[in-house]
Amino acid sequence: EIGIRTTQIETFEGSFIYIPNSKFTQNEVENISRRWARRMKMIIGLTYNMNSQKIKKAKELIKDAIVSEEGTSKEKIMINFTEFGDFSKNIMVIYWVTDTSNYFNIVDSINFKIMESFEAHKIEFAFPTQTIELVK
């Protein structure tokens, strides 16, 4: 709500922030509600026992999950095997959610699709591990 002296903004948590209108004339203002889409970026770590064919299959399954979901850009999808991490082979995933009002529901749905398809194809997510060698 824009008043004479201040603008009132409601946060995601439901609290209100009051900003003096003079701040808007002195600083840049980004209007996120006018975006065409919102970017999602995540790293998916796969276990080191996944061979190259499994990693390629994982990339295909991730793309299928994104493309099958309404409210995503079908053209601007990046899925790359980017890194041999400390405990995982990492795939970086970037895609755009065009239905920004349902961003979290769409991301949730895509994540479940990825998880379920990985389970069906026996592709394992990595988690931090450490090998300890005991020497006598």
Which pLDDT belongs to residue 73? 95
Yes or no: say if 62 and 93 are a contact pair by the CB < 8 Å rule: yes
Q: Give the residue extent of every domain in the chain.
A: 35-120
pLDDT of residue 68: 97
- Report the predicted TM-score, pTM, of the whole model to 2 decimal places: 0.76
CATH architecture of residue range(s) 35-120: 2-Layer Sandwich (3.30)
Q: Is the confidence at residue 117, as pLDDT, over 80?
A: yes
Distance of CA 116 to the CA centre of its chain: 17
What percent of the chain has pLDDT above 70? 98
| Cα 87 from chain centre | 20
d(CA 54, CA 26): 53
**Confidence bin at 22 (pLDDT 50/70/90):** confident
Mean residue pLDDT of the chain comes to 92
With tokens 């970026």, the residue in question is 41
Q: What is the pLDDT of residue 26?
A: 82
pLDDT at position 76 over 70: yes
How confident is the model at residue 32, as a pLDDT? 67
* Measured torsion, CA atoms of residues 82, 110, 120, 44, in degrees rounded to the nearest 10: 20
